[in-house]
A and B are shown apart, each in its own frame.
Chain A
Amino acid sequence: MRALYRGVLKRELALAFQHRAELVQPLMFMLMVVTLFPLGIGPGPETLQRIGPGVIWIAAILSSLLGMERLFREDFQDGSLEQLMLSGLPVSLIAAIKVFTHWLVSTGPLLIMSPLLAMFLNLTLDMYVALLLTLLLGTPLLSFVGAIAVGLTVGVQRGGILLALLLIPVFIPLLIFATSAVDSAALQLPYLPQLAIIGAMLLLAIAVSPFAIAYSLRVSQN
């Protein structure tokens, strides 16, 4: 049983690293979106510091939406998803493993970019630490909640925009709490409450969403 799960995990990682070019795409997208803001709004360091946390988080949400579409699509199209579901393993666990590996290879690397982005937007060290912590807790939440909608739209032709329409309103609370944590850090205030709420949402999502993902995959598989 455990060997099978490990097999699923290894297969996901191997597949992800076969397409190295695709792994870099969300990172470049995020970098470019963030670059647009100083150009569009003006390079004043104080303005940038004021809007920085929100800009980085919005860019993170958009680029994770962009990468998320690939989460189940190829497996759905070549039928391997169906085979995994017929394997007798709990679909929820398979889904959780797939989401986790997807976060590891496509959303997690956004964290590596964060120092550069923080520098671009003139964040202080305190703000950067808070930003890193919110990204660390928040991006897995994006992946787990987003995977439900990905599972639902995987069978739909051209589901990309639909996915964004479904998920953006759902991600709003995360955006609010995360940016408010960074803003508190900027004012030297404690931001543990915001982190605790994001953590609670993450735990809830990890506990519940695998079952919802499994159901949504069954709906799509019909």
Chain B
Amino acid sequence: MWKWLHPYAKTERAYQLCQILQPWFWAGALLCLAVGTVWGLAFAPQDYQQGDSFRIIYIHVPSAILSMSTYVAMAVAAVVGLVWQWRTAFMAMIAMAPVGAVMTFIALFTGAAWGKPMWGAWWVWDARLTSELILLFLYLGVIALYGAFDDKLQGGKAAGVMALVGVVNVPIIHYSVEWWNTLHQGATISKFDKPSIAPEMLWPLLLNLLGFALFIAAVTVMRMRNEIILREMQRPWVKAMADKAEGDRHAV
């Protein structure tokens, strides 16, 4: 059933797949982000309570949602790597880690900028802010662990185990912190049966969510290509590709 997937355990096939996917991801990301952001920032109606400052939702919410899903994606990649012994899965995981960390940082930063006019403080020890901050720590831990190893295969496995320990902890952290303290407004768009957001505000948000997801995918794919080239420098196919690129450059 999973047979079609197995060729991608080979770095060469994974590299080719990344190469094919990259332009599509970039095109989709730029299109969605451009339309969603302009629509959201310029044309969507004002919020009756928060005025124009609610518009930061179009950056804040997608980055917050995707910071968590990127962590889950890392954990899935780690499981694939640990179970089927795929080197490429660990490479994908490591490629995702800094992107997810940056998303977490964007969510925290925009949250702080939003919190200042709304709650009157840059930072409050609210449940969701705190769990987002802890998520950032988990990302940084995984990246630091990977960086500590000279043998990158070993480092990938170690980082994978740590990502899994983290993903078991994410729900526990979330609920423990929620119980501990709560001030953040409730989720706005997860209640799909009857969303508590007007549809003309929702559509640009969903577009931006998709755009952010495609953007993360595009950057991940680029980083993964780099990782593969760096790690497989001695392989004949990489050398052939480098020679070809060199030849093309001289041909012009």
Contacts and interface: CB of A to CB of B under 8 A. Distances in A.
B65 interface: no
A112 interface: no
Nearest to B136: A169
Contacts of A148: 161-162, 165
Interface stretch (B113-121, B145-153, B228-236): B145-153
A180 interface: yes
Contacts of B148: 153, 156, 159, 162
A143 to B, nearest CB: 14
Contact of B172 (A168, A201, A222): A201
Contacts of B140: 165
Contact of A219 (B137, B158, B172): B158
A159 B140 CA distance: 15
A212 interface: yes
A125 interface: no
Nearest to B159: A152
Q: Is the interface of B mostly helix, strand, loop or mixed?
A: helix
A120 interface: no
Interface string A138-177: 0000000100110011011001001001101110110011
Contacts of A176: 176-177, 179-180
Interface in B143-195: 144-145, 148-149, 151, 154, 157-158, 161-162, 164-166, 169, 172-173, 176-177, 179-180
Nearest to A215: B161
Contacts of A220: 154, 158
Interface residues of A, number: 26
A155 B151 CA distance: 11
Interface centre among B82, B157, B164, by most chain A C-beta atoms within 10 angstroms, is B157
Nearest to A175: B176
| Chain A, interface SS category | helix
B144 A162 contact: yes
Chain B, interface size category, equals: 20 to 34
Contacts of A219: 154, 157-158, 161
B50 to A, nearest CB: 30
A172 B119 CA distance: 25
Q: Most chain-B Cβ atoms within 10 A of its Cβ — which of A145, A169, A216? A: A169
Interface in B60-110: 82
A208 to B, nearest CB: 8
B32 interface: no
B137 A169 contact: yes
Given A149-B165, A153-B148, A173-B169, A168 B180 contact: no
Contacts of A212: 161, 164-165
Given A148-B165, A173-B169, A177-B176, A166 B154 contact: no
Interface string A44-71: 0000000000000000000000000000
A202 B162 CA distance: 18
Contacts of A216: 158, 161
Nearest to A166: B141
Contacts of B149: 156
A148 B190 CA distance: 35
B137 A145 contact: no
> What are the 8 A-B residue pairs with the smallest beta carbon separation, nearest first?
A169-B137, A173-B176, A152-B158, A166-B141, A176-B176, A219-B157, A173-B172, A156-B148
Interface of B: 82, 134, 137-138, 140-141, 144-145, 148-149, 151, 154, 157-158, 161-162, 164-166, 169, 172-173, 176-177, 179-180
13 contacts: A152-B145, A152-B161, A152-B162, A165-B141, A166-B144, A166-B145, A169-B134, A169-B137, A176-B179, A216-B158, A216-B161, A219-B157, A219-B158
